[in-house]
Amino acid sequence: MINNNDTARAMAMMIVAMLMLPGIDAIAKWLSGSISSGQVTWSRFFFQIILMSPLLLMTRGPWFTRALWLHAARGALIASATLFFFSGLAYLPLADAIAIFFIEPLLVTLLSALFFGEAIHWRRISAISFGFVGALIIIRPTFAEVGYAVLYPVSAAFCFSFYILLTRKLVRHEDPIRLQFFAGIFGCMVMSMALIYGSASDIGILTAVWPTTDQWLLLGTLGLIATVCHLLVVYAYRLASIGILAPFQYVEIIGATILGLVVFREFPDPITWLGISIIVGSGMYVFHREAKLAATARATK
CB atoms within 10 A of CB 142: 9
At residue 164, the pLDDT reads 86
Q: In angstroms, rounded to a whole number, what is the distance separating the alpha carbons of residues 63 and 76?
A: 19
The whole domain housing 81 covers 4-299
Report the domain count for the chain: 1
pLDDT of the residue at 132: 77
- Positive or negative CA dihedral for 163, 27, 219, 209? positive
Please provide the size of the chain in residues. 301
Which whole-number Å values give the CA distances from 243 to 50, 78, 121, 261, in the listed order? 32, 20, 10, 31
What φ, ψ does residue 142 adopt, rounded to 5°? -135, 145
What pLDDT, on a 0 to 100 scale, did the predictor assign at position 198? Answer: 94
User: pLDDT tens per residue, the chain (301 residues)?
Assistant: 456 678 888 889 999 998 999 999 999 999 988 999 999 999 999 999 999 888 887 777 666 677 789 999 999 999 999 999 999 988 888 877 887 787 777 777 777 777 777 666 777 778 778 877 877 776 665 555 666 777 898 899 999 999 988 988 887 777 778 888 899 999 999 999 999 999 999 898 999 999 999 999 999 999 999 989 988 988 887 888 766 787 777 788 788 888 888 888 877 678 777 877 887 777 667 666 666 665 666 566 5
pLDDT of residue 1: 45
36: left (phi over 0), alpha (psi -120 to 50) or beta: beta
- The reported pTM is 0.81
Identify the pLDDT of residue 243.
67
Rounded Cα distance, 7 and 87, in Å = 34
* HEC sequence for 230-287: HHHHHHHHHHCCHHHHHHHHHHHHHHHHHHHHHHHCCCCCHHHHHHHHHHHHHHHHHH
